[in-house]
Amino acid sequence: VQADGTDGNCVTFVLHDEDHTLGNALRYMVMKNPDVEFCGYCITHPSESKINFRIQTRGGLPAVEPFRKGLNDLMGVCQHVLNTFERSMKEYRAQR
Amino acid sequence: EEGGALEFDMVGIDAAIANAFRRILLAEVPTMAVEKVFVYNNTSIVQDEILAHRLGLIPIRADPRLFEYRNQGDEEGTEIDTLQFQLKIKCSRNPQAAKDSSDPNELYLNHKVYSKHMTWVPLGNQTDLFPDADFQPVHDDVLIALLRPGQEIDVLMHCVKGIGKDHAKFSPVATASYRLLPDITLLQPIEDEAAEMLQKCFSPGVIEIQNVKGKKMARVANARLDTFSREVFRHEGLKNLVRLARVRNHYIFSVESTGILPPDVLVSEAIKILMGKCQRFLNELDSVPME
Q: Do A1 and B284 touch (CB under 8 A)?
A: yes
Angle between helices A64-95 and B263-287 (to 10 degrees): 160
Whole-number pLDDT of residue B39? 92
Chain B contact probe: residue of A7, A71, A81 with most B CBs at under 10 A: A81
Write the pLDDT tens digit of every residue in A44-79: 888 888 888 888 887 777 777 888 888 888 888 888
Q: Among B228, B190, B225, which Cα is nearest to B210's?
A: B190
Report chain A's mean pLDDT, rounded to a whole number.
Answer: 82
- The angle at the Cα of A22, spanning A19 to A26, to the nearest 5 degrees, equals 130
Q: Is residue A3 part of a domain?
A: no
Q: How many CB atoms lie within 10 A of CB B70?
A: 20
Whole-number pLDDT of residue B51? 92
Q: Which CATH superfamily is domain B31-168 in?
A: DNA-directed RNA polymerase, insert domain (2.170.120.12)
Inter-chain contacts counted by CB atoms under 8 A, chains A and B: 78
Q: Is residue A4 part of a domain?
A: no
C-alpha dist (Å) from residue B119 to B63, B135, B141, B198: 17, 8, 14, 57
**Segment A27-41 mean pLDDT:** 85
Whether A1 shows a pLDDT value over 60: the answer reads no
Whole-number pLDDT of residue B291? 46
Q: Is residue A89 part of a domain?
A: yes
Whole-number pLDDT of residue A4? 60
Q: Is residue A2 part of a domain?
A: no
Q: Do A20 and B274 touch (CB under 8 A)?
A: no
A33, amino acid identity = N
Q: Which residues contact B171 (CB under 8 A, 6 or more apart)?
A: B26, B27, B29, B31, B164, B258
Is residue B120 within 8 Å of residue B90, measured between CB atoms?
Answer: no
Write the pLDDT tens digit of every residue in B114-155: 888 888 888 878 878 777 777 888 888 889 998 888 898 999
pTM as predicted = 0.81
The whole-angstrom distance between B20's CA and the closest CA on chain A is 5
Query: Per-block average pLDDT, block size 10, for chain B (291 residues)?
Result: 77 84 88 90 91 91 84 74 88 78 78 88 81 82 89 90 88 86 80 76 77 76 76 76 81 86 86 85 74 46
Q: Do A78 and B19 touch (CB under 8 A)?
A: no
Q: Among B178, B177, B263, B260, which Cα is nearest to B4's?
A: B263
Indicate if ipTM > 0.85.
Answer: no
Q: Among A70, A69, A62, A55, which Cα is nearest to A7's?
A: A62
Q: Is residue A1 part of a domain?
A: no
Q: Which residues contact A63 (CB under 8 A, 6 or more apart)?
A: A5, A8, A9, A10, A11, A55, A56, A57
Q: Do A25 and B17 touch (CB under 8 A)?
A: yes
Q: Is residue A77 part of a domain?
A: yes
Q: Do B275 and A67 touch (CB under 8 A)?
A: no
Burial of B159 (0-12, 13-18, 19+ CB in 10 A): buried
Q: Which CATH number is A19's domain given?
A: 3.30.1360.10
Is residue B85 within 8 Å of residue B118, measured between CB atoms?
Answer: yes
**Segment A33-42 mean pLDDT:** 85
Number of structural domains found in chain A = 1
**In which domain, by residue range, is A46 found?**
10-95
Q: Is residue A43 part of a domain?
A: yes
**Facing residues of B89 across strands?**
B153
